[in-house]
Amino acid sequence: MKVLVPVKRVVDYNVKVRVKADNSGVDLANVKMALNPFCEIAMEEAVRLKEKGIASEVVVVSVGPSAAQEQLRTALALGADRAVLVECDAELGSLAVAKLLKAVVDQEQPQLVILGKQAIDSDNNQTGQMLAALTGFAQGTFASKVEISEGKATVTREVDGGLQTVALQLPAIVTTDLRLNEPRYASLPNIMKAKKKPLDVLTPDALGVSTASTVKTLKVEAPAARSAGIKVKSVAELVKKLQNEAKVI
């Protein structure tokens, strides 16, 4: 079984994000970039499926600039067999990314596509669902447990009311939640081996996909600074302030 793992290059979660002076976007100059944390979870799950003998090949794919090869090499060091980069410098929305991934799915013909439920930069939580709609594959989102057996994927989903378990006929799309697993660290020998693993570079034009967007970013602003809190001496005083000052009750 072939497993395809889409991953994204994002600002490292330890970095404090800064907005450009002209409010046109996020300042990425000299900023440390990393593999999206949810993508790391998806990568780990794919590698575990291979270690169990369920998956025969793990292919990692990313859509982004040439610099995203760094994150693909990281994924190769974590256990992927080969990588594909759809090189595009434009800022792409979820639908454009899903269309490009659909073209890669058509080429690779994986039985399972497993990806993070969202990226920590845009937080859209859309690409997996859009990819499922475009491919017509069954989908199991927010997965906290995945089991593959007899041509089916049994996915335990984290939903508002608790847990929901669904059975998906392969091929299928699965998006990962935080509690699915704990990603491993890449060992030095595997980092060295990853340098020799194949990495193919494609373009949207080569895939026959238009990345023209119908959405335009008008302005990006940092969150407003939070005002200092206050202490009250009693519940009665708290209720009075909520009524008269905050006017929420």
Q: What is the pLDDT of residue 236?
A: 93
Residue type, 224: A
Percent of the chain with pLDDT over 90: 80
Burial of 32 (0-12, 13-18, 19+ CB in 10 A): exposed
Here the CATH number for the domain that contains residue 79 is 3.40.50.620
Number of domains forming the structure of the chain: 1
Average pLDDT, the chain: 94
Q: Could you tell me which of 105, 154, 111, 158 has the C-alpha nearest to residue 134?
A: 105
Compute the average pLDDT of residues 74-97: 95
- In tens, the pLDDT along 153-203 reads 999 999 988 999 999 999 999 999 999 999 999 999 999 999 999 999 999
Alpha-carbon distance of 184 to 165, in angstroms, equals: 26
Domain ranges, residue 219: 2-246
- In tens, the pLDDT along 37-46 reads 999 999 999 9
Inter-residue contact 113 to 173 (CB < 8 Å): yes
More confident residue, 223 or 100: 100
Is the pLDDT score of 90 beyond 90?
no
Lowest mean pLDDT among 30-44, 137-151, 224-238: 224-238
Compute the average pLDDT of residues 18-27: 89
Q: CA end-to-end span of the chain, whole Å?
A: 57
Q: How confident is the model at residue 32 (pLDDT cuts 50, 70, 90)?
A: very high
Query: Among 14-18, 60-64, 239-243, which range has the highest average pLDDT?
Result: 60-64
Inter-residue contact 104 to 134 (CB < 8 Å): no
Q: What is the pLDDT of residue 230?
A: 86
Q: What is the pLDDT of residue 144?
A: 96
